[in-house]
């Protein structure tokens, strides 16, 4: 045999799912491997006509506590964890412990049980203790022991038994050990996710958060609830109950307008989480006109938000459009009376709102958390021969704020602190730009002298070249591509200014 090879002479088998095991048993029996097992696995092996010894015959203890303790014993783990050196082998002989060369485990189906029932007692009983301990012990001692940690690995074992006559190499054992720790890690994560969800629900129940049923979720066939306190974010002055989609759009609107808290009067119009119109002007009425001009079609049924008080002049303009929700820090009394004539129209008076520092989302069979994207770097680095003017710098900042809150891949086209057009949610950046240019043309927005902002770097110079061809004079982007210089060169060739922020703003 090769150096570090191990011949499988004994095996401990403890599996929940017996599918596929019989093929392995046949191979082990052919090669005279001594088998140990317990519980249902022992009965299965014996019923198939194979010679097998009980773990209890080795430990001197029966399975106890309703099967919770079967293999947790020094005579089991001593045989698994013992190094094949004189010291450890001598201790095995002294304490009459049989060495174990192969461990086969298939864990209790914890995730399947969670998916099938809400019975906590049944779920807890499917947390495998002995099986996980066997996997970790055998994997730790991969230098001398083979671990098969799932029925999905029977093919690996069958190949070893068939092609190598049960002789394993160190590389094979280490590979199986890596798989074993992956199985163990996944299993423990599933258990954590179950308990963490339970804890999150318990925290919600014990907290002062309202559990508010919504009309329905994203679609009528989906139920939905909101855990939180509306009155910390806004005061509802008028209108029907808020829906799931309303809340998602309101959250996006507040997130965007947080970027303009200290700006001159600014208005934004959002549809499906994306801004289709944003503008900053000397008055809120002028800001509304400029925001609507970019896309008065998408604005229909949208979410409107302002950073300044709504006066009667603005209210009368807004009243011509059907919209879902209007948010503002205040409403002048005559404007509020005018807008409240339509009982279903939702009017929300926003309060000083601090964006949460974390974002949380359910994902696969668990929860994913990240730091919220609260960064906006306006300390631009000019990388082209030409530098931006004072007005262009204002527009570069404005464009950066807009594109940060668009779905990736995203492009924003801006001029004079007005969002002229945008492209978002595209699978390529050039497609996002082409979408933005087409939209600008549809609404007669003049792109000559415009600013282009991108949420991520340009992997190719095509966006810069195309933008220059339609009149864009300055570009702000994060940079960071290994091909940045190609885009910089294209900007210089077309007399386009380019600045970089060093901060990407993907939004998936």
| Mean pLDDT score across all residues of the chain | 87
Top pLDDT among 88 and 282 is at 282
Helices (H), 234-293: 244-257, 284-293
The residue with tokens 């002229």 is 420
Top pLDDT among 395 and 2 is at 395
Of the candidates 49, 41, 43, the residue with the CA atom closest to the CA atom of residue 104? 41
C-alpha to C-alpha distances, 234 to 229, 251, 348, 394, 436, nearest whole angstrom: 9, 11, 6, 30, 33
How do the domains of the chain map onto residue ranges?
6-197, 216-350, 373-500
pLDDT at 127 over 60: yes
Query: Phi, psi at residue 301, to the nearest 5°?
Result: 75, 15
Q: Give per-residue pLDDT as tens, 288-300.
A: 999 999 999 999 9
CA angle 214, 219, 220 (to 5 degrees): 70
> Which CATH entry fits the domain spanning 373-500: 3.40.140.20, 3.30.70.240, 3.40.190.80, 3.20.20.70?
3.40.140.20
Q: What number is the average pLDDT over the span 131-136?
A: 88
Residue count (the chain): 508
Helices (H), 164-243: 170-206
Same fold, 216-350 and 373-500: yes
Give me 328's structure tokens.
């503002």
Give the strand pairing for 381-382 and 358-363: unpaired
pLDDT at 352 over 90: no
Q: How many CA atoms does the CB half-sphere of 145 hold within 13 Å?
A: 30
Q: Give per-residue pLDDT as tens, 452-473.
A: 999 999 999 999 999 999 999 9
464-473: b or e for each residue (b if 16 or more CB lie within 10 Å)? Answer: bbbbbebebb
- Quote the pLDDT of residue 17: 87
d(CA 242, CA 233): 14
Local confidence band at 387 (pLDDT 50, 70, 90 cut-offs): very high
CA angle 25, 31, 32 (to 5 degrees): 85
Task: Give strand ranges (E) for 107-154.
Answer: 146-148
R_g of the chain, CA atoms, integer Å: 33
Local confidence band at 208 (pLDDT 50, 70, 90 cut-offs): low
d(CA 453, CA 424): 12
Q: Is 140 noted as a catalytic residue in this protein? A: yes
Query: Is residue 243 within 8 Å of 216, Cβ to Cβ?
Result: yes
Q: Give per-residue pLDDT as tens, 269-320.
A: 999 999 999 999 999 999 999 999 999 999 999 999 999 999 999 999 999 9
Q: Give per-residue pLDDT as tens, 13-66.
A: 888 888 888 888 888 888 888 888 888 888 898 888 888 887 776 765 666 666
Partner residues linked to 328 by β-bridges: 349
- Quote the pLDDT of residue 2: 54
Q: Give per-residue pLDDT as tens, 477-500.
A: 999 999 999 999 999 999 999 999
d(CA 433, CA 458): 11
d(CA 234, CA 260): 17
- Number of CB atoms found within 10 A of residue 19's CB: 9
- Name the superfamily (CATH) of residues 6-197: Methylglyoxal synthase-like domain (3.40.50.1380)
Q: Is 272 noted as a catalytic residue in this protein? A: yes
Q: Which helix (H) or strand (E) holds 100?
A: none
Alpha carbon 471 to its chain's center? 38
Q: What number is the average pLDDT over the span 230-251?
A: 89
Q: Which of 140, 236, 240, 434 is catalytic?
A: 140
d(CA 495, CA 471): 11
The residue with tokens 């060495």 is 99
- Quote the pLDDT of residue 116: 81
Q: Which of 46, 186, 272, 394 is catalytic?
A: 272
| Cα dihedral value 374, 379, 385, 386, nearest 10 | 90
**Fold of the CATH domain 216-350:** Cytidine Deaminase; domain 2 (3.40.140)
């Amino acid at each position: 045999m090769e150096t570090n090879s191990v011949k499988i002479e004994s095996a401990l088998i403890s599996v929940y799912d017996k599918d596929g095991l019989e093929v392995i048993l046949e191979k082990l029996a052919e090669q005279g491997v001594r088998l140990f097992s317990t519980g249902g696995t022992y009965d299965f092996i014996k019923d198939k006509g194979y010679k097998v010894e009980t773990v209890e015959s080795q430990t001197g203890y029966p399975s106890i506590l309703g099967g919770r303790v079967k293999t947790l014993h020094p005579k089991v783990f001593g045989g698994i964890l013992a190094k094949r050196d004189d010291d450890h082998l001598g201790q095995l002989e002294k304490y009459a412990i049989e060495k174990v060369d192969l461990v086969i485990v298939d864990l209790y189906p914890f995730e399947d049980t969670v998916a099938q029932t809400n019975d906590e007692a049944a779920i807890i009983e499917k947390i495998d203790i002995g099986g996980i301990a066997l996997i970790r012990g055998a994997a730790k001692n991969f230098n001398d022991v083979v671990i098969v940690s799932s029925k999905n690995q029977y093919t690996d074992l069958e190949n070893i038994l068939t092609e190598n006559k049960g002789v394993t190499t160190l590389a094979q054992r280490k590979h199986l050990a890596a798989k074993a720790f992956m199985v163990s890690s996944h299993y423990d994560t599933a258990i954590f996710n179950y308990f963490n969800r339970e804890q999150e629900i318990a925290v919600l129940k014990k907290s002062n958060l309202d559990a508010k049923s919504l009309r329905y979720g994203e679609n009528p066939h989906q139920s939905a609830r909101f855990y939180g306190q509306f009155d910390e974010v806004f005061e509802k002055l008028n209108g029907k109950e808020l829906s799931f989609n309303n809340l998602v759009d309101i959250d996006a609107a507040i997130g965007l307008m947080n970027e303009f808290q200290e700006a001159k009067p600014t208005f934004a119009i959002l549809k499906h989480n994306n801004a289709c119109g944003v503008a900053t002007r000397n008055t809120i009425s002028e800001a509304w006109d400029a925001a609507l001009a970019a896309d008065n079609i998408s604005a229909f049924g949208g979410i409107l938000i302002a950073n300044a008080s709504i006066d009667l002049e603005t209210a009368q303009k807004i009243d011509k459009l059907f919209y879902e929700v209007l948010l503002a820090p205040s409403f002048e009394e005559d404007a509020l009376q005018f807008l409240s004539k339509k009982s279903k129209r939702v009017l929300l008076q926003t309060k000083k709102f601090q964006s949460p520092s974390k974002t949380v989302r359910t994902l696969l069979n668990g929860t994913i958390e990240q730091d919220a994207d609260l960064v906006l770097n306006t300390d631009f680095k000019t990388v082209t021969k030409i530098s931006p003017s004072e007005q262009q710098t204002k527009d570069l900042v404005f464009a950066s704020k807009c594109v940060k809150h668009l779905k990736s891949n995203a492009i924003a086209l801006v001029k004079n602190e007005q969002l002229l057009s945008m492209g978002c949610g595209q699978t390529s950046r050039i497609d996002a730009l082409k979408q933005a240019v087409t939209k600008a043309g549809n609404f007669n927005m003049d792109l000559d002298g415009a600013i282009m902002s991108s949420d991520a770097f340009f992997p190719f110079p095509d966006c810069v070249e195309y933008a220059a061809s339609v009149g864009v004079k300055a570009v702000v982007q994060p940079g960071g591509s290994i091909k940045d210089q190609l885009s910089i060169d294209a900007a210089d060739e077309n007399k386009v200014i380019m600045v970089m922020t060093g901060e990407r703003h993907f939004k998936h």
